[in-house]
Amino acid sequence: MLSMFRASVGGLRGQTQRRLYSTNYSHLTSSKQALIPTSGTYPLGFRAGGVHCGVKKNGNKDVALVISDRPCSGAAVFTTNAFKAAPVLVSQATLAENSNALFGVVTNSGCANAVTGAQGLENAKRMRNTVDSLVKHPMSALTMSTGVIGQQLPIEKIEAGIRDAYNSLSKEHDDGWMKCAEAFMTTDTFPKLRTGQFDLDGKTVTMAGISKGAGMIHPNMATLLGFMVTDAQVEPALLKKALKYAADRSFNSISIDGDMSTNDTIAVLANGASGAKIETEGPAYEVFRDQLTAFAADLAQLVVRDGEGATKFVTIHVKGAQTFEDAKQAASHISTSMLVKTALYGQDANWGRICASLGHSGIPVDASKVSVNFVPTDGTEKLKLMITGEPEVVDEDRASEILKMEDLIIEVDLGQGQSETKFWTCDLSHEYVTINGDYRS
């Protein structure tokens, strides 16, 4: 049994881009264009599509649909925001009644259907019911929406769009999956689509996934919108357990602005078309869980690389913690510090802000044991900032060189144990304020 994940596109660097709400990507830097896949190998039995139905005024795609030709087991993690959007509530209800005979995921962009009361719930159910009528199975689909909060869906347009998307479903990259990924986009500058394969007990298992998000990103049980599909057969309880494990180490380990959306949903469907089966916990389950985690991390990192106004992709690596939970709490706290993020944007090696954030993160900290380093991603030597509580004489020129790089690792060693985690974030720029100051205009 091999555990070799083969992703179609690796992670590359991102840069600040004006949010043009466009599916023409020629204005992007070459590093961002390289994040957009030109081909992919997709799971057996799944087809995808995306169309424009009229939610977005600019003519961009706004309805996405993925359908399996056979029943799927399903699982999802959702926002813990008190203002859960209607599609979140409807998807939770769908999974509670049917987690082993799902057929798809339907999504609209441009309107979040959040804080929309009874009418919003009815509209989300109508989205699911439209899919039910097409696949001829009840409770067949999970629903997602993204966009402006507090506005009702133009549901008749969306119902027509779902039917159009169903009629144009394709298993191909350009005609199906890329169109689907584009239909997820709001302030995203590029579609976030990935495929990958790994070997499981002599069978080739394929995964595909789409994520979206560029702002209002900070996790708690889930974050942003996204889904993954696979042609492995996985029992629903095991799929739910694997997704929770994966989300905690991927989508729950990213932050752009510290805000949690009303619509956060990450879902996974497994249809068994490859013949690979995961029916009990054991080696096969662990391989699947770890591959799902790696795949989810790749999708999650794309969101950070497309962070609104972001000029840097920053990995917060906290190690030497007593527990995984402590490491994650510390990393999360540092990643959302406005002082840390603005210093990164200004290329200021003000590492004291990292210590200050760690010091009130809520975990046990012994300042005399803490070490902090900047780790460049070009393979050159790390820059030591503080070692076991003692400040180093910092080479400011070298620090400036590292902070000019688009990718940076901040390594924090708590010196207390063996647990560690990584959290992915970005800097905070003037552009972020500009984007969110005129989001509805």
Report DSSP letters for 270-314, one per residue.
E--TT--EE-SSSHHHHHHHHHHHHHHHHHHHHHHHT-TT---EE
- Give the bridge partners for 262, in sequence order: none
Q: Is the pLDDT of residue 3 over 50?
A: no
CA atoms within 13 A on the CB side of 48: 29
**pLDDT score of 12:** 27
- Give the bridge partners for 68, in sequence order: 46
223 counts as catalytic: yes
Of 347 and 52, the structure prediction assigns the larger pLDDT to: 52
Q: Is the pLDDT of residue 257 over 70?
A: no
The model's pTM is 0.84
Q: Is the pLDDT of residue 11 over 50?
A: no
Amino acid residing at 380: T
Residues 375-393: tens digit of each pLDDT: 999 999 999 999 999 999 9
CA dist 109 to 50, 91, 159, Å? 11, 16, 13
CA dist 44 to 76, 274, 437, Å? 21, 7, 43
Please compute the mean of the pLDDT values over residues 171-198 and round it to a whole number.
95
Distance CA 58, CA 47 (A): 26
- Judge contact between 331 and 422, C-beta under 8 A: yes
End-to-end CA distance of the chain: 53
Length of the chain in terms of residues written: 441
Strands 277-278 vs 233-234: parallel, antiparallel or unpaired: parallel
The catalytic position among 146, 187, 223, 262 is: 223
Strands 225-230 vs 265-270: parallel, antiparallel or unpaired: parallel
Sign of CA dihedral 109, 294, 355, 380: negative
Q: What φ, ψ does residue 96 adopt, rounded to 5°?
A: -65, -30
For residue 294, the Cα-to-chain-centroid distance in whole angstroms is 12
Asked which of 26-35, 148-157, 167-176, 318-327 is least confident by mean pLDDT, the reply is: 26-35
CA dist 132 to 43, 128, 325, 372, Å? 22, 6, 40, 54
Distance CA 148, CA 261 (A): 11
Q: Residue 5: which pLDDT band, with cuts at 50, 70 and 90?
A: very low
Asked which of 46-55, 209-218, 224-233, 284-293 is least confident by mean pLDDT, the reply is: 209-218
Distance CA 310, CA 421 (A): 22
